[in-house]
Structures are given as structure tokens and as C-alpha cells.
A = this chain, B = another copy of it.
Amino acid sequence: MTQTATPDRRAVDVLVSRHTASLEEAAAALAGRLYYSRYPESPSPRVYGDGAAEAGRTAYEAHLGRPFEALADQPSDGTTVGDEVSPYGPRLGVAYPRLDVAAGLEAAREAMTGWRDIGPRARAAVCVEILDAINKRSFEIANAVMHTSGQPFVMSFQAAGPNAQDRGLEAVVAALVEQERVPESAVWEKPGRDAPIRMAKEFRIVPRGVALVIGCNTFPTWNAYPGFFASLATGNAVVVKPHPRATLPLAVTVAVARDVLASVGLGRALVQLAADGDAGRLGAELALRPEVAIVDYTGGPAFGAWLEREVAPLGTEVYTEKAGVNSVVIDSTDDLRGMLDNLAFSLTLYSGQMCTTPQNIYIPKDGIKTDEGHVSFDELGARLSAALDRLAGDDARAVELLGATVNDGVRTTASSLRALAAEADGSVVRESRAVTHPAYADAVCRAPGLVAVDVSREDVYAQERFGPVTFLIGTESTQQGLAQLADTTKEFGGMTAAVYSTSETVLEAAREAAVEGGVALSENLTDGIYVNQTAAFSDYHGTGANPAANAAYTDAAFVAGRFRVVTTRRHIP
């Protein structure tokens, strides 16, 4: 039995009062999968206040080249770790305290009793308070994400700030709803021959244990917050093991969470950072610890498969998002320009370094019908290339969408289009152009490249080619493209799919292909919604129905296993 923390019940109640209405409103949106956002995504001073952007940048810069002192109170052996280098060039030089794993996990377990006992609604309110506090640091976190992931600045503000915070809130709300579906008590009355048999029962929500969140390099906050808040809101303690190259955004997150927890008398140890260096194995070490009951992971398939193989059999809940190939099928369109601009934006944003960026575009070899008449396969490639030029032709403008390449793997892919085309007996439709960043000379920035290949060359296109390369795949028919969409997604995974067609029959077949592949489908996107973007509370991110991810942000399955129910029962005289 663990030592009980002593939460400040009055302070917690203040948070419950403050956030109850918002939680109800958010829960209604989640139930209907309607539009909902708590955190404005515009970085405008009208929203975030005059000087907020500058203050955030200053706060970010204050972290550089020195120890991260906000976590100095974590149990540590006194040494530090930190290998972050901005994809834009500079070494960050932040030195994070190394977590004393045994002491940290012991402290986490001790802090869980008080956290468990304040109940689901209080936990949800504290989590919203943490998210609100994180929101106030959005500009600081945006700079940290930009200089760890290589995202362009506005994207790193929106995706890593408010959008990630909304995803976190979605997880909090889903967790609250799920816990509150379990009644606190019941009187069970079974009709009997003479008198009924009556039993009083209580149902107690208990956490699983310590939850480990393993972050990724490209979306350190957006992909971490759902698991982080789902586990925390269900009563677990959370240890965050960030990617060695994207630690700062989660270090700030953890520090903010600990301060909010402490402000209401809850244990700081409920949230901890386990920073690691480039060659570290801390993620594996933590995942194998008996105290760890839940792991959320986003990253490469090798470590994800290791978690599923070695850690899940220990009884640990393992949620993974790994890799996949995202497909688009183009059949026809009544808005060629809109289609091309929309696709070009999706391919350009962050140089295709999103798990949701389309990689494989299936196009009938004999071309497509459009509002501008028949367009051949080659012509469509040229038109898409032109659309990419419109977006990313000018270097200074281009980098604001492309950002910088995050690692050598991406850079190698970007440089090897010619070899790739040769290997596949295809052709380079457009090289991945090297773009010079006007402010960061050391940044390696690349615009999207296009490679045309035949549908038969699945050996080349049916694997993830992370970064700025997209295959234009010539098919015998739209039907063949849809079959490939279904088959490759089912076998190799996929986070997104899209179709363009003016035919309701084709769209219906595309929906069936999406069901077969187990992937969400965007149809005829031409306006300001993109296939690689999902909205919290409405769009699921991932489905859990193909190998790319075994879970979805945020459905009931993502939260229901993070807690358990312990019943007590007795006779009522």
C-alpha cells in the first residue's frame, strides 16, 4: 500500500468549477464528433496578445546552452543529457537532468494514490488546467518544436501548440466520459421467492500503473499529448521519454504539468521527464519496468514492433503509431485547379514529413476527365508539378511551408529520386529541389519530388519513403487504383487516403476500398481542408484497423483500457 498524497481539495474544487461547463460542452462535441476547439490556432497578437510571439521566442532562447532547471527537482544522479540539434542548424545545448529511474517510478507510484482518490472529474479539471497553462506557453513551445522537428514556424505554432492541445483535451474528455460511464455505486435487487435479495455495490476506478509516453522527432507534442492526457486523466502517473532530438517541447510540457499539479497539492511525481541521448536505450529500459503498465509510442516500426513483441505480452497496454503508405486515387474532377492546389499543399507542407502525407497517387494511364477536358497521365504530372511550383517556387516563401528536413534518412530519400526511378523503370517527373533558407544557412530544405512508376512496381512504392517523394502510379483503371489502395493499406498500413472523382459509383467503390484497407477517406478535397490534417473531436487520427497504428485518436478503445474497475459488494439487511 502506497503513501497517500494530500491534494488541496478546495483548490481542486476551484478547478472543477472553472472547467465543468467546458468539459460538458467538449463532451457533447465529442459524442457528436462535431467541431470543437478550445485553443485558437491563429498566432495573431489579437488572440495571444501583443508581444506574445516575442516573449515566447525569448523564453525559448533562454533555454539554450544551459541546464533545464525547471526539472531540477526530479530524482536524478546529478548528470545531464542533451543531444538536440536544430534541423535549421544550431545545436540547442540544453542539458536535461537524467532521471533516476527507480526513484522516479517509486515516487510516481506514491503520488498515484492521491491522484486516484480525487476521482475522474477532478482529474479532468486538473488536466484542463494543465492544458490551459501549456497553451500560454504556445510560442515558446512552437520555437522549441520548430528547432527540433524542423517544422516551419506557423505550422509548429498551430500543430504543436493549439491543435496538439485540442487533441490533448479530446483525450481528457474521452477519458472522463469513459470513467463516468461506470456508476459509483448500485443497489442490486434480485427478486426472490419471499423477499428480494439486495446487495450494495461500489465500483471504484483504479489506474493501471505508470504510463510511459515515447515521443517522436517530427511531432513531439501532437503525437504525445493524446496518450499523455488519456493516461493521466484515468489516474495513472506519466513518464515522458521524448525523442533525443525533440526533448525541449516535452520538457516544457512536463514542467508546466508538474507546476499545475503542485499548485493543488498533488504530487509533481505524477508527471516526469526521462530525457535520453542519441544512443540511449532508456525507452526500452522503462518499457520493461514492472511499474510501467501502459506505453504510448510514435516512431519507427522497428522499435514499435519490439514493444508489441516484448512488452505487450507482459500485460502492458501498448499503443503504437508506426509507419505506412498513404494513397490517393484520382479518377476525375470538376475542379482540376482546386484538386492540384490542394494536393500540392499536402505534399509541400513540412516537406512531406507527416505520417499523413500522401505518398502514392494512382492515376489511370489513359488520363482523367476534368473540367478542363481530358488530361493525360503525363499532363497531370506536369500540372501537379506546376502547382508545386506555385507554392514552393520561391525559396523565401517555400521555407515557410517546407520547413527543414529532420534527418539524414529524409535527405537521402530526397536526393535519390533518380535512382529510385531507375530502380522502378520509372521516370523523375520533378526533382526534389534543394531550397536555400534565407535565415538558416545550415538548414537542408527540400521541395517535393515526383516519380512516375507503373502499378506493377509495388516493390518500390509499397513501403514508406518518408519525406518529399511522391509516386505517380500509372494504373489500368480507377478500379485497379482503388484495389491497390485497399491492398497496400491493409498490408503495409496507412494513416490517410483520398479520392478524386465526379462519379458517385466510383466514390462508393472508394468508400468500400477504404473500409477494406481500414483507413479514413477524404473525398474531392479542393478547399482549405487537407488530407494530411485531422481535426480533434471530429476526425479520428488513425483507425487501428491497419498496420500503421493499433489505435485511434480518440475513440473509446484508446481510453477504456487505461483504467480498471474494482467492485466491492455486501448484503443490504
Interface residue? A472 (CB, 8 A): no
Interface residue? A396 (CB, 8 A): no
Measured in the bound complex, the distance between the Cα atoms of B513 and A565 in whole Å is 14
Main secondary structure of the interface of A (DSSP, over half): mixed
Please give the distance in Å from A148's CB to the nearest CB on chain B: 29
Report B-chain residues with C-beta under 8 Å of the C-beta of A201. 33, 538-539
Please give the distance in Å from A192's CB to the nearest CB on chain B: 8
Report B-chain residues with C-beta under 8 Å of the C-beta of A183. 31-33
Report B-chain residues with C-beta under 8 Å of the C-beta of A257. none
Tell me which residues from 520 to 568 in chain A have a Cβ below 8 Å from any Cβ of chain B: 520-529, 535, 538-540, 543-545, 547, 550, 552, 555-557, 560-561, 564-568
Choice from B31, B515, B516, B527 contacting A571 with Cβ under 8 Å: B527
Measured in the bound complex, the distance between the Cα atoms of B34 and A222 in whole Å is 40
Interface residue? A440 (CB, 8 A): no
Assess the B181–A520 pair: CB atoms within 8 A: no
Interface string of A1-16 (1 = CB under 8 A from B): 1000000000000000
Measured in the bound complex, the distance between the Cα atoms of B203 and A32 in whole Å is 11
Assess the A566–B518 pair: CB atoms within 8 A: yes
Measured in the bound complex, the distance between the Cα atoms of B537 and A199 in whole Å is 14
Interface residue? A315 (CB, 8 A): yes
Interface string of A303-342 (1 = CB under 8 A from B): 0010011001101000000000000000000000000000
Assess the B35–A189 pair: CB atoms within 8 A: yes
Measured in the bound complex, the distance between the Cα atoms of B330 and A551 in whole Å is 44
Assess the B35–A550 pair: CB atoms within 8 A: no
Measured in the bound complex, the distance between the Cα atoms of B204 and A560 in whole Å is 20
Assess the B547–A315 pair: CB atoms within 8 A: yes
Interface string of A24-48 (1 = CB under 8 A from B): 0000000111110100000000000
Assess the B529–A571 pair: CB atoms within 8 A: yes
Interface string of A470-490 (1 = CB under 8 A from B): 000000000000010010000
Number of interface residues of A (CB under 8 A): 74
Report B-chain residues with C-beta under 8 Å of the C-beta of A178. 556
Measured in the bound complex, the distance between the Cα atoms of B552 and A538 in whole Å is 29
Choice from B545, B556, B569 contacting A520 with Cβ under 8 Å: B569
Interface residue? A212 (CB, 8 A): no
Please give the distance in Å from A201's CB to the nearest CB on chain B: 7
Assess the B520–A567 pair: CB atoms within 8 A: yes
Assess the A564–B518 pair: CB atoms within 8 A: yes
Interface string of A181-192 (1 = CB under 8 A from B): 111001111111
Interface string of A402-413 (1 = CB under 8 A from B): 000000000000
Residue of B nearest to A564 (CB): B545
Measured in the bound complex, the distance between the Cα atoms of B393 and A560 in whole Å is 47
Assess the B518–A543 pair: CB atoms within 8 A: no
Measured in the bound complex, the distance between the Cα atoms of B166 and A190 in whole Å is 14
Measured in the bound complex, the distance between the Cα atoms of B535 and A188 in whole Å is 10
Assess the B570–A524 pair: CB atoms within 8 A: yes
* Given A199-B529, A529-B197, CB of A511 within 8 Å of CB of B188: no
Report B-chain residues with C-beta under 8 Å of the C-beta of A191. 35
Interface residue? A514 (CB, 8 A): yes
Tell me which residues from 169 to 218 in chain A have a Cβ below 8 Å from any Cβ of chain B: 178, 181-183, 186-192, 197, 199, 201, 203-204, 206, 208
Residue of B nearest to A206 (CB): B515
Interface residue? A512 (CB, 8 A): yes
* Given A35-B188, A181-B31, A309-B313, CB of A569 within 8 Å of CB of B522: yes
* Given A1-B516, A519-B566, A545-B566, CB of A571 within 8 Å of CB of B524: yes
Choice from B37, B192, B523, B570 contacting A568 with Cβ under 8 Å: B523
Assess the A543–B564 pair: CB atoms within 8 A: yes
Give 9 A-B contacts (CB < 8 Å), ordered by A residue: A34-B189, A35-B188, A186-B538, A199-B529, A312-B313, A518-B564, A521-B566, A521-B569, A525-B571
Measured CB to CB, the residues of A under 8 A from B are: 1, 31-35, 37, 178, 181-183, 186-192, 197, 199, 201, 203-204, 206, 208, 305, 308-309, 312-313, 315, 483, 486, 511-516, 518-529, 535, 538-540, 543-545, 547, 550, 552, 555-557, 560-561, 564-571
